[in-house]
Structure 1
């Protein structure tokens, strides 16, 4: 039997009027009562009639999200969190995948960027953010940036503290007794890559160690594999530990080491970043830095809802904390291997 607004009112213990106000994002509802209604909506899996809500609010009932790819489980997790939180607010999600190829220029205007199509936009990790910001501001569409690659004034942004993540990853290796620690970074075009490298550098200097073993790479398995292959082929002393800027790079590093007969973590410890879905399934299970994807999506929706209702300023900036996940690919230093 289809759940209706009366069922939500009964379940929450609130009046029909209060439930209706929550569904229409009215600012007059007490936060405690709003939460009771939202909890009842979630428990009953209630889906408001979007067409009826659009008539009441004079809005589309749709939030747009633009992303460059859906083959990243961290971004997938953010999108899923956004979807779930939008549902609680009675909105549906429309996704645009904008393929960004190298440095080629393209029209940054997105088909979702129109008032008659969406009530707001979530921009997830695009290298074309300057053009997107200009377009959205010109059209006066509320928006939130996730994983921005530059510092922006008066732009609502949600980022994970990548400096802290790089710092904690390196401190973890140092605490295990490693001194010859290398870092393979992502492309410096990404703010996250630059900040993770800065965290690595500061942690090394703080411990009295040299941060000289840094190679700029690219996010991806091929990068980690090829860089590690070259390192081994050159006959140089292999570092006892490697901080890879993402889990894909780490996976490539581990594969190259194992192909050359090295044991991970017996000979070389490897730590990644992101906690992709495969990190707990590969052998050895990957030590990594977990991004709080659920929190990212939740905060993005909250800020955007407030912007749409005129309750939030544009200079909102959130920086969420990552988490070290200690698994099997890192271990105590056992001495130089060559």
Structure 2
């Protein structure tokens, strides 16, 4: 039988995860109508918080906050799910804040979580305004961990994937297939992950004595990948292989080349990054680099709870990505 989780309560009651968490922790400011919806959902689903949740020490909220910009991304979604599962095992509930990409709005939306008496700690997922968030959380003395940080010089405790290795392995795969005309399209260089994937791409080419055919930075998204690849073709730049910095860009590039008559992978090999949900469902199935999302969530919870417990020294974690070979890459064939 499937174990009932707090996310099932959210779905059943129709209210937010924050509201469910606050009802479970007997926070007085919840509207009575919403409280009754949650209590009814708990009753119908026969939800039983574990004993650790019921025995949290007096003076703590039992809530952990998580802030991110979007859930419209299967990697982020899976990380949030992993965080929630591991928090439940430790007797905590998750309060989720999906903030605006604009800094001013994000600060307003995060103001609820970023209060000393509202949460026991914060997990920050891929923040756009990282330095401001770090300064505020340190000023308020709130324990926090960042997943997928973007500041090269951060002193925060972080959980990252080795994106340099991911970029290197993706490009090495294309080189081992015999490709020498290799292009790279990726997202904005604001992101540390983008810079590291590009660095791995360049290093793999350098070790093989190959110059990059083209490098384009654009916004993330299928349309951006399509436009970048179309611009290459119109400029007379036609690679035999493309390393895309995320799967959506890879899908867009794939569509652009096919629209011009190139076959994937017969004429054009394409590899993405992230192993998004759709990567195994499109045709041809996308070769990509998988991020260990379950481990990312688990490590973030482990590190944060150590900080909450008073640990003075806490080491950041760097996890390893995995090459997933599917059908969008193949041996080089002379045109």
What is the DSSP-based 3-state SS (H/G/I as helix, E as strand, rest coil) of the residue aligned with 1:158?
Answer: strand
Q: Please report how far the alpha carbon of residue 258 of structure 1 lies from its aligned counterpart in structure 2 after TM superposition.
A: 1.3
Q: Is the 8 A contact 2:53 2:91 kept in 1?
A: no
CA distance in 2, matches of 1:89, 1:169: 37
Aligned ranges 1:266-285 → 2 under 5 Å: 266-285=266-285
Q: Is the 8 A contact 1:122 1:146 kept in 2?
A: yes
Aligned ranges 1:197-212 → 2 under 5 Å: 197-212=198-213
Q: Please report how far the alpha carbon of residue 261 of structure 1 lies from its aligned counterpart in structure 2 after TM superposition.
A: 1.3
CA distance in 2, matches of 1:108, 1:317: 25
CA distance in 1, matches of 2:106, 2:141: 19
Q: Please report how far the alpha carbon of residue 51 of structure 1 lies from its aligned counterpart in structure 2 after TM superposition.
A: 7.6
Q: Is the 8 A contact 1:108 1:131 kept in 2?
A: no
1:250 maps to 250
Q: Please report how far the alpha carbon of residue 312 of structure 1 lies from its aligned counterpart in structure 2 after TM superposition.
A: 5.2
What is the DSSP-based 3-state SS (H/G/I as helix, E as strand, rest coil) of the residue aligned with 2:55?
Answer: helix
| Alpha-carbon displacement from aligned partner over 1:143-191 (angstroms, at most 9, x marks no partner) | 0001001124431001100000000000000000000000012100001
1:299 maps to 299
Asked if residue 326 in structure 1 is aligned to residue 325 in structure 2, the reply is: yes
2:17 maps to none
Q: Is the 8 A contact 1:50 1:61 kept in 2?
A: no
1:136 maps to 137
Q: Is the 8 A contact 2:100 2:106 kept in 1?
A: no
1:287 maps to 287
The alignment yields a C-alpha RMSD, in angstroms, of 1.8
What is the DSSP-based 3-state SS (H/G/I as helix, E as strand, rest coil) of the residue aligned with 1:57?
Answer: coil
| Alpha-carbon displacement from aligned partner over 1:186-206 (angstroms, at most 9, x marks no partner) | 100001001100000010010
Q: Please report how far the alpha carbon of residue 233 of structure 1 lies from its aligned counterpart in structure 2 after TM superposition.
A: 2.4
CA distance in 2, matches of 1:46, 1:105: 39
Q: Is the 8 A contact 1:108 1:128 kept in 2?
A: no
CA distance in 2, matches of 1:212, 1:279: 25
For structure 2, the 5+ residue unaligned runs are 4-46
CA distance in 1, matches of 2:51, 2:80: 22
Q: Please report how far the alpha carbon of residue 50 of structure 1 lies from its aligned counterpart in structure 2 after TM superposition.
A: 7.8
CA distance in 2, matches of 1:52, 1:200: 50
Aligned ranges 1:169-184 → 2 under 5 Å: 169-184=170-185
For structure 1, the 5+ residue unaligned runs are 4-44
CA distance in 1, matches of 2:93, 2:99: 20
Q: Please report how far the alpha carbon of residue 229 of structure 1 lies from its aligned counterpart in structure 2 after TM superposition.
A: 1.4
**Aligned pair in 2 of structure 1 residues 88, 107: CA closer, same or farther (>3 Å)?**
closer
**Aligned pair in 2 of structure 1 residues 98, 282: CA closer, same or farther (>3 Å)?**
same
Q: Please report how far the alpha carbon of residue 117 of structure 1 lies from its aligned counterpart in structure 2 after TM superposition.
A: 1.1
2:152 maps to 151
1:187 maps to 188
Given the two structures, how large is their TM-score scaled by the length of structure 1? 0.82
2:311 maps to 311
CA distance in 1, matches of 2:291, 2:72: 16
1:108 maps to 107
Given the two structures, how large is their TM-score scaled by the length of structure 2? 0.82
